[in-house]
Chains A and B, each alone.
Chain A
């Protein structure tokens, strides 16, 4: 048959293919460590662990702040108040305040017959020496 340029090119490519097929090509990863973990496989468990730890931490904080208010309903503050002498009371409390708080204390009004040695003026101190006006309720 007559040979032209195209025949030569076709034959050359056929020879090339035959030669290439017989080659032993080394794999690229032979010299390289090729353990590859997809990004999402790391990101999702990491997010879950971080979320779990964060959740535990915030729960701990909540318990710490709740403990006082959960356990204590009422706080009484006892103030030891020695019975002041009438003179010193008169001296210590200004006149304007005396008139403002001079009404009888509620507890005293409940028990009017209770004998008392002196009149308490200016400070709502009960018989049991507890300052009920300082009672704190939560």
Chain B
């Protein structure tokens, strides 16, 4: 095509299709759209190491670029991107002996469903920052994917390769763990 359409007005999937056909500018547009957010995801998941997060983010896009010709039309781009990112995280954390996604023992933890918290908004932000930092895996990963990166449950199922029921119950449990932890900040 002599005069290409504006890349900024295209969806991720349209851009990825063009990138698969060899359009590097389309790929760069995808990078510009998702790099910051992905780097933030790595930053939170890899213990606030900014250099490591930048390296992992770049590595994710390099892998995506290398595999761009394998892109199948109709496949959700963000799910694909976060599958690569999730696997990189998982491998890194496995080396550090941190369980990310395939622990069944954590599902047996008892969590109270009826926790009521009263906090000021300023305290909530500070407390939540601390709670999320100390949230155990695999809940932290699921919280990140679902609530921070705004991926749907089916997309998380695709990314993590976990059954849908497991994802849902763990997400529910994650919220209860967070509430339980936040409760401790009530009287401070």
Which residue numbers of A lie inside 8 Å of B, CB to CB? 1-3, 5, 7-9, 11-16, 19-20, 23-26, 28-29, 32, 34, 36, 38-40, 43
User: Which listed residue, A8, A13, A36, A38, touches B182 by the CB 8 Å rule?
Assistant: A8
Nearest residue, chain B, Cβ from A2 = B118
The answer to whether B132 and A23 touch across the interface, beta carbons within 8 angstroms, is no
Nearest residue, chain B, Cβ from A23 = B39
How far, in angstroms, from A57 to B61 measured CA to CA in the complex? 51
Describe A's contact surface by its main secondary structure.
Answer: helix
- Pick out which of these stretches binds chain A: B87-95, B123-131, B153-161: B123-131
The answer to whether B117 and A39 touch across the interface, beta carbons within 8 angstroms, is no
Q: Is the interface on chain B under 10, 10 to 19, 20 to 34, or 35 or more residues?
A: 35 or more
A38: B residues at CB distance < 8 A: 2
Describe B's contact surface by its main secondary structure.
Answer: helix
The answer to whether A16 and B148 touch across the interface, beta carbons within 8 angstroms, is yes
How far, in angstroms, from A127 to B31 measured CA to CA in the complex? 98
The answer to whether A23 and B50 touch across the interface, beta carbons within 8 angstroms, is yes
The answer to whether A11 and B124 touch across the interface, beta carbons within 8 angstroms, is yes
Which are the 4 A-B pairs with shortest beta-carbon distances?
A20-B40, A28-B31, A3-B117, A40-B2
User: Which listed residue, A1, A9, A13, A40, touches B118 by the CB 8 Å rule?
Assistant: A1
Q: What's the least CB distance linking A72 to chain B, in Å? A: 51
The answer to whether A9 and B128 touch across the interface, beta carbons within 8 angstroms, is no
B121: A residues at CB distance < 8 A: 1, 11
Nearest residue, chain A, Cβ from B116 = A2
Nearest residue, chain A, Cβ from B25 = A36
Q: What's the least CB distance linking B105 to chain A, in Å? A: 25
Q: What's the least CB distance linking B90 to chain A, in Å? A: 21
The answer to whether B148 and A8 touch across the interface, beta carbons within 8 angstroms, is no
A14: B residues at CB distance < 8 A: 125
Knowing A8-B175, A12-B147, A12-B148, the reply to whether A25 touches B125 (Cβ < 8 A) is no
